Structure 1
Amino acid sequence: MTVHGRDRELDLLAELVAEARNGHGGALAVRSGPGLGRSTLLSWAVRRAGADFRVLGVPGVRAEARLPRAGLGRILPAVPDDLRDVRRSFTALAEDRPLLCVADDAHWLDPESLEALAYIARRVEGSPILILFAAHNEHILTPERDRLAAIPSLSLQPLDDETSRRVLSECVEDLAEDLESILVELAGGNPRALLELGQALTPAQLAGTEPPPATLPGGSELRAIYRRRFFRLSETARLLLLMAVVDEHLDTVTLARTAALAGLDLAELEPARALGLLTVDGDHVTVPSLLIRSVLYADAPLAERQTAHRLLADVLDRPDQSARRIWHRTAVTSRPSDAAYLRAAALDTDSTEATRLWLRAAELSGDPADLLGAAGAFWRSGDPVRARNLIRRAQAHPAVPPGEAEFLLGKIELFGGIPGRARALFQTAAERLPSERRLEALINAGEATFLAGDIFAYLELASQAKDVPGPELLALHFEGTSAAFANIDFTPPLRKLLTLPVSCLDHIWAATAAMLLGDDTAARELASRAVRTAHGCHSPLKPTALHLLAQADVWRGRFAEATARSMEGLALARTVGQGNVAADHLTLLALLSALRGDRETAERHISQVLQTASTRGLSRPEAYVSWARATLDLLEDRPGEAAARLEVMTVHPVVRVMSTPLYVEAAVQSGRHEAASGALNLFDQWAETTANPARLALSRRCHALLAEKDEVAEEKFTTALALHRLGGSPFELARTQLLYGAWLRRARRPSDARAHLRRALHTFRHYEASGWATRARAELRASGVSSIGARHPEPAAELTAQQEQIARLAAEGATNREIAARLTLSPRTVEHHLRNVFARLGVRSRVELVRFFSFPTA
């Protein structure tokens, strides 16, 4: 039998067996909750020991737990009274070959036998004896002591999700991904639970036409363990425990109020905690796992369960508790007429609470529309797996609302699946939905094709949507973006669109339009509004809104803000299961790192996304990867590779246009002037249409690089610099200054070049773009700045902006504490920066810093 996810534990057991075989005994207590694989590990150790070991099995037997020495009596013909004699009996058994003693379920051994085995286990070091215990802490831990104290212990943790999937795959073949994920979540990493759940699946559950298991099957051994623990509690303790079972948001205040209302003594909950059925974490009272919660809810007497619901419904009287109150109340009454009440409440609460309300409505009504309502709530709350499962169940019902299931599945695919599949689903939805919803479905199909980089398919969808009724904003967006992709005037519809947004989704469409229009200020403001309004039913849109905001910051040269926004969006996208949006954030972060010259970070981001992007056909992230790597190629003086990388980037024409300035620079440096000139035409048209000074500056810079006459090149560079200052992108301004400075130096005008190169270097230091700063320093030296410490000291050439500030103040004589107070830092941070300053500048003291700075004389 394969043991999954326990490599560390198996290595330890193998080492102990090998040591015992060589005459060096040992002992180990494997501890865990039920079902985590204690017995499996001990069985593996027995197989590992093989025939050259004598194996004694001393399993704990519940029925014999109170019979003195019952355990030892099963392996020794006569059990001596003295523990030393028991030890001598074990030593005698190990005379001719090593001895392996396995005490499984040691918590059910009688105390005398357990203590005798523990006594021997602490004294086997010089003998070929290995004693293994498997136990959970019940009965092993007493109020006075740990019965297995001083014996090395190994605590088993739940399996991770990937390992859990492997365990499931051994007992169920071709399990649907959404059902597999639900079982993995329910089992919580418990191997026995995974096997019991997988083996009990019905054909209808496997087909997705029946609900997945809500708990362990009725004949489950693991379920029986928790059921026994539950019924060992008093009636009062069971009722108090059930309040935590039926309400996962239970807090100590609500529990105390409910107990007071029912006249229950909270002290009776302590046995539930001791049995591992309840956890109190701060003011949160909960059940340790979803698995335990599901078993207790299923096996609790109906009357006790309804009493818990009723008591909680009576005390949850605050306005913010209304959704929970309604849910508990309908659990008691369970009338079909309550479904409408639940639907209304679901529409007026957050997505997490809405999921339970929709599910309760579906239970009462049997209406597949309620299943779709629950599916939508699960998707909005970040659980696309359960959403898919509910959609499959709804689709099996003949009364499923036409097109709604396909539309919701399309959304899930668009944000976290395969764009081609999303497009097909949205197109099917457009055929089946009411006419007023058709445009919404078509534009989402368009978004899927745009993500895949299929501009021709986008134009085809836009053509289909021309006469379809729907919201004006969507119609304008389709009209304007398709015009842009068809290379005709797209500004009128998109400018009109900017005046219409109201909701979060509206602001997202508008921010996208503003970017096409080249209006970076409007794009940032609209994306910011989208982020601010992304709550409630629009919460799944927040990662997308953050991506748009980060993009706007990149165009404005605000790299730190863009990085922060994209890191936030990445974390959120991963949390809510939006893998495609996470890919967008990762590749934008890769581009930001590449622009700074940080190959290690850029490649780390790329490695996390490339396989997913390729498998799903995510053209936009793949294009950003090409852009990022081409940037690094150019920075590392491989312009031919950079140009070649961008030339084959046909998978997403929009990103290709955006990266044109980089391509022109790389192509010119590698002697491909004609190709560069051809690529620039489309970018020029976009820049002229937007009239954005930042885009026009990039256009003029490209023309300067392509110019054959010096006077034309200088005029274009000068114009580009002026436009950059109007456009507000300091980083691109510095890039143009670097290129212009290099051109001036090659034109034998070194004194003119230095001013531009110094300004470029200063900006690159501010951005901590070390690669570009190195290029600027090299150009400065080539223009006649022979050494940093000469006539014009240049500590900036080696230091970041903050390091230079600290170094200058230190050179002036300020102490670390004074520098810290001046710059709002800690003295320790100042000390850390100064150590780096000394290393970079090659100095050993503050006194030596003075030669790097010029100070005014009195």
Structure 2
Amino acid sequence: MAVHGRDRELGLLDELVVKARTGHGGALAVRSGPGLGRSTLLRWAARRAAPDFRVLSLPGIRAEAKLNRAGLGRILPDMPDDPRDVRCSLAEMAEERPLLCVVDDAHWLDRESLDALAYTARRVADEPILMLFAAHNEHILIPERDRLASIPALSLPPLGDETSRLVLRECAEDIPEELESILVDLSGGNPRALLELGRSLTPGQLSGTEPPPETLPASSELRAVYRRRFFRLSESARLLLLMAVVDDHLDTVTLARAAASAGLDLAELEPARALGLIAVEGDHVTVPGRLIRSVLYADAPLGERQTAHRLLAGVLDRPDQRARRVWHRAAVTSRLGDATGLRAAALNAEPTEAARLWMRAAELSGDPDDLLGAAGAFWRSGDPARARNLIRRAQADPGVPPGEAELLLGEIELFDGLPGRSRVLFQTAADLLPPEGRLDALVRAGEAAFLAGDMIAYLELAAQAKDVPGPELLALHFEGTSAAFANGDFTTPLRKLLTLPVSCLDHIWATTAAVLLGDDTAAHELAGRAVRAAHGGYSTLRPAALHLLAQADVWRGRFAEATACSTEGLALARAMGQGNVAADHLSLLALLAALHGDRESCERHAAQAIQTASVRGLSRSEAFISWARAALDLLEDRPAEAAARLEVMTVHPVVRVLTTPLYAEAAVQSGRHEAASGALYLFDRWAQSTANPARMALAQRCYALLSGKDDKGAEEHFTAALALHRLGGSPFELARTQLLYGAWLRRARRPSDARIHLRQALHTFRYYEAPGWAGRARAELRAAGESSAGPQGAEPVAGLTAQQEQIARLVAEGATNREIAARLTLSPRTVEHHLRNVFARLGVRSRVELARFFP
């Protein structure tokens, strides 16, 4: 079996083998917890060296650990007493050909043998000898027992998720994706655990009709390691440890109270810490990793486990600890009536605790509705794999509520799966749910179609929903958006919709309506309300709400705020297992980087987004990526490539319309006026229907570019565009128009008029920290006869950008971050970000030092 995920480690071992072959010996101690592949690496090194090395294998043996020099006796029959003689003996062996000495499980080698070998390992630099040791990490936790402390060490981390999946796939074929994710999470990236879990899967687990493994199989070698460690502890230490095992929110105060109630001494936990079974970080007491927790819970005597639950239930008496108290009490009973209390507690618990409460309720009741409750809680806690698995188990029960499983699974697929599959699930749910739930399911099916760019399916769903009873907001949403996609009258229903939002989801629907209406101010306000409302029970919607808020900031030209917002949304989406929303944020960040002219960041974000978008058919994300790359092409003076990229972009009608100004500019610059004119018709029609000055300004800019040699027509359109820009906001787009107008004026041999607009454009581009566009403006200024940028365009102090200099001057004058934010219409967080960069560039540490630069 291949060695996965250890390229760095294999490279280091290969380097040591090569050096030893040329007479330059070395030593390495591979350190890790059990199961992480120490022995695998040593075996690989032995195979690598085997053709021309003499290989001595000396594994530690537990039964011989206390027998003096037992290890040396297996490789040196005369067993010299002095470590120096051991070194000489090994050097003699290496005279004919290089020597590789492999000491696996060094922690089980007797002390005298290990001391002698370590002595040799420290003195082989000029010998053709390579000494490799492998040992448990517990020796690091107990330094006085560490005989390898002075030898170069290599620590093995857990495998990453993708590598873990590769290991699993070598054990079993056709593992469902959600089961794969559950096993990867359970294993914690431990290769041995992955192998043992993968080989133990039953047909029922593979099909999803049986629960996935909760821990390692009973025959597991790795499980046996932790079981032995656990039972080496005293009964009191085991009970203290089990309280951390059964409660993953345990703090030192609660543990101390529970220990005192049972007359236990917390000092007895020290052996468990030394064995790596427990960790204390601040006031939090935890078991390191879900794998160890699951093994200890499974192998602990039932009586000790229940005692731990009872002790904790007795001291968790604060109101905010109610959910944990209910769960601990229910964990030691088997009464069906306890399921009711568990459900009630779950409704008000945070998602992780709610999932545990619902699971216990399902164990007691056997009710598939409880499984769906647990699935919903796991989904809200950021574990879509477990949620999917529980839904499939619930669907196998004939008592599952009609449509509920499909509705929840459709939501998960919408945020972290295939939009096409999500649409089918929502449509199925609409057929099965009671009448009052049908419209909601159909609207969600429409959202899945929109995400995939399937407008035909969207219109069909809207027609199907036309006479379905339900909330007015949803009906107006479907009516208005479908009319917009069909070039009908969409403004009336969507404007009415803007007055109706109440919940977080309502505000999300209303935000999309405001975007179609071209009302950037309303879109920003509604998206902000959605974000604020997404703190409680709607927390799963927060990443999507942040994406809408970031988009609204982009349309308003607030790029710094948009970047901060989308960065937060990306982190949340990843933490909550919402891969599709993460792709949306990544593609938007790629666009923002492109607008700044930052190709490296743009391509980094785009490459990450496309990994998800291309596999799942996320047309919207793919379209944004094409938009971003086309913006860079245009900036880098490749208009033909930009136009071609936008022409072949994944079809998404809404994004296609939004990119029209960029496409028209690229098409005109590459001599394709007819194509630009055709695209502009639809954009102009939309812009006029929105009455948004910013959108109409972009249309006028496009008409100016299309005017060609008609000097009067071009100037009229440019002048109209500038006036509309000033009414509609978005200074960045105003600067883009000023740059294009200035370039047109220069070519029309009006350099003095051109310089006025080009200077203003340059100042704005510097403010936005967009060096690529600033460079274009400077080049046009030089071509217009201005050798220096003049007073308005002077280079900022010490290499600062215009915005950084502005903030620095205000700080030097004594303004606070909040005052600066209000004055410059930025967020305090954005001001703080720029100020950190100012400090770094100027080499100062305080506001007082900064003031010296601005006397």
Alignment of 1:358-369 (within 5 A): 358-369=358-369
Which residue of the partner structure matches residue 268 of structure 1?
Answer: 268
1:522-577: per-residue Cα shift (whole Å, max 9, x none)?
A: 11011001001112331111111111111111111111111111111112112222
Q: 1:72 to 1:471 in 2, by over 3 A?
A: same
Which residue of the partner structure matches residue 160 of structure 2?
Answer: 160
Displacement of 1:206: 1.2
Distance in 2 of aligned mates of 1:198 and 1:710? 73
Distance in 2 of aligned mates of 1:460 and 1:617? 20
Which residue of the partner structure matches residue 211 of structure 2?
Answer: 211
State the AA in 2 paired with 1:38. R
Alignment of 1:85-96 (within 5 A): 85-96=85-96
State the AA in 2 paired with 1:563. T
1:149-178: per-residue Cα shift (whole Å, max 9, x none)?
A: 433332222222222222222221221111
Of the structure 1 ranges 794-803 and 464-473, higher mean CA displacement relative to structure 2 is found in 794-803
Give the TM-score normalised by the residue count of structure 2: 0.91
1:459-512: per-residue Cα shift (whole Å, max 9, x none)?
A: 111000011122211111001100111111111211111111111111000111
Q: 1:742 to 1:309 in 2, by over 3 A?
A: same
1:30-54: per-residue Cα shift (whole Å, max 9, x none)?
A: 2222112222222223323326544
Distance in 2 of aligned mates of 1:202 and 1:670? 61
Distance in 1 of aligned mates of 2:806 and 2:624? 39
Which residue of the partner structure matches residue 309 of structure 1?
Answer: 309
- SS of the aligned residue for 1:227 comes to helix
Please say if residues 694 and 723 of structure 1, whose CA atoms lie closer than 8 Å, have aligned partners that are also in contact: yes
Q: 1:772 to 1:316 in 2, by over 3 A?
A: same
Q: 1:675 to 1:805 in 2, by over 3 A?
A: closer
Distance in 1 of aligned mates of 2:253 and 2:275? 23
Which residue of the partner structure matches residue 771 of structure 2?
Answer: 770
Please say if residues 766 and 800 of structure 1, whose CA atoms lie closer than 8 Å, have aligned partners that are also in contact: no
Which residue of the partner structure matches residue 737 of structure 1?
Answer: 738
Distance in 2 of aligned mates of 1:139 and 1:8? 24
- SS of the aligned residue for 1:298 comes to helix
Q: 1:721 to 1:306 in 2, by over 3 A?
A: same
Larger Rg: 1
Alignment of 1:333-482 (within 5 A): 333-482=333-482
Q: 1:515 to 1:38 in 2, by over 3 A?
A: same
- SS of the aligned residue for 1:537 comes to coil
Which residue of the partner structure matches residue 100 of structure 1?
Answer: 100
Displacement of 1:830: 5.9
- SS of the aligned residue for 1:288 comes to coil
Which residue of the partner structure matches residue 680 of structure 2?
Answer: 680
- SS of the aligned residue for 1:102 comes to strand
Q: 1:57 to 1:395 in 2, by over 3 A?
A: same
Which residue of the partner structure matches residue 755 of structure 1?
Answer: 756
Please say if residues 115 and 147 of structure 2, whose CA atoms lie closer than 8 Å, have aligned partners that are also in contact: yes
Distance in 2 of aligned mates of 1:354 and 1:835? 50
1:133-159: per-residue Cα shift (whole Å, max 9, x none)?
A: 222255687664632243333222222
Of the structure 1 ranges 603-612 and 43-52, higher mean CA displacement relative to structure 2 is found in 43-52
Which residue of the partner structure matches residue 698 of structure 2?
Answer: 698
Give the TM-score normalised by the residue count of structure 1: 0.91
Q: 1:763 to 1:272 in 2, by over 3 A?
A: same
Displacement of 1:762: 2.0
Structure 2: gaps spanning 5 or more residues = 821-830, 845-852
Distance in 2 of aligned mates of 1:783 and 1:128? 72
Alignment of 1:419-818 (within 5 A): 419-649=419-649, 651-707=651-707, 709-785=710-786, 787-788=787-788, 792-793=790-791, 795-796=793-794, 803=801
Displacement of 1:307: 0.8
Of the structure 1 ranges 291-300 and 45-54, higher mean CA displacement relative to structure 2 is found in 45-54
Please say if residues 362 and 370 of structure 2, whose CA atoms lie closer than 8 Å, have aligned partners that are also in contact: yes
Please say if residues 100 and 129 of structure 1, whose CA atoms lie closer than 8 Å, have aligned partners that are also in contact: yes
Q: 1:772 to 1:148 in 2, by over 3 A?
A: closer
Displacement of 1:618: 1.4
Q: Percent sequence identity over matched residues? A: 77
Please say if residues 742 and 757 of structure 2, whose CA atoms lie closer than 8 Å, have aligned partners that are also in contact: yes
Of the structure 1 ranges 266-275 and 349-358, higher mean CA displacement relative to structure 2 is found in 349-358
1:314-364: per-residue Cα shift (whole Å, max 9, x none)?
A: 111111111111111110123221112211211112212211111111111
Q: 1:647 to 1:168 in 2, by over 3 A?
A: closer
Alignment of 1:186-225 (within 5 A): 186-225=186-225
State the AA in 2 paired with 1:429. A
Distance in 1 of aligned mates of 2:731 and 2:812? 33
State the AA in 2 paired with 1:385. A
Q: 1:143 to 1:755 in 2, by over 3 A?
A: closer
Distance in 1 of aligned mates of 2:711 and 2:126? 89
Please say if residues 570 and 585 of structure 1, whose CA atoms lie closer than 8 Å, have aligned partners that are also in contact: yes
Q: 1:334 to 1:779 in 2, by over 3 A?
A: same
Asked whether 1:40 is paired with 2:40, we answer: yes
Displacement of 1:276: 1.0
Which residue of the partner structure matches residue 147 of structure 2?
Answer: 147
Displacement of 1:231: 1.1
Please say if residues 165 and 180 of structure 1, whose CA atoms lie closer than 8 Å, have aligned partners that are also in contact: yes
State the AA in 1 paired with 2:773. W
Distance in 1 of aligned mates of 2:67 and 2:546? 66
Distance in 2 of aligned mates of 1:599 and 1:84? 60
Please say if residues 188 and 291 of structure 2, whose CA atoms lie closer than 8 Å, have aligned partners that are also in contact: yes
1:698-755: per-residue Cα shift (whole Å, max 9, x none)?
A: 2233333334744443333333222222212222222222333333344444333333
Q: 1:724 to 1:328 in 2, by over 3 A?
A: same
Aligned length: 833
Displacement of 1:108: 1.8
Alignment of 1:10-49 (within 5 A): 10-49=10-49
Distance in 1 of aligned mates of 2:285 and 2:780? 66
- SS of the aligned residue for 2:537 comes to helix
- SS of the aligned residue for 1:333 comes to coil
1:653-685: per-residue Cα shift (whole Å, max 9, x none)?
A: 111111222222333333333333332222222
Displacement of 1:411: 1.3
Which residue of the partner structure matches residue 841 of structure 1?
Answer: none
- SS of the aligned residue for 1:209 comes to coil
Which residue of the partner structure matches residue 62 of structure 1?
Answer: 62
Distance in 2 of aligned mates of 1:676 and 1:153? 63
Please say if residues 820 and 830 of structure 1, whose CA atoms lie closer than 8 Å, have aligned partners that are also in contact: no
Please say if residues 436 and 470 of structure 1, whose CA atoms lie closer than 8 Å, have aligned partners that are also in contact: yes
Please say if residues 534 and 541 of structure 1, whose CA atoms lie closer than 8 Å, have aligned partners that are also in contact: yes
Please say if residues 550 and 563 of structure 1, whose CA atoms lie closer than 8 Å, have aligned partners that are also in contact: yes
Please say if residues 796 and 805 of structure 2, whose CA atoms lie closer than 8 Å, have aligned partners that are also in contact: no
Which residue of the partner structure matches residue 846 of structure 1?
Answer: none
Please say if residues 627 and 659 of structure 2, whose CA atoms lie closer than 8 Å, have aligned partners that are also in contact: yes
Distance in 1 of aligned mates of 2:693 and 2:7? 60
Q: 1:36 to 1:784 in 2, by over 3 A?
A: closer
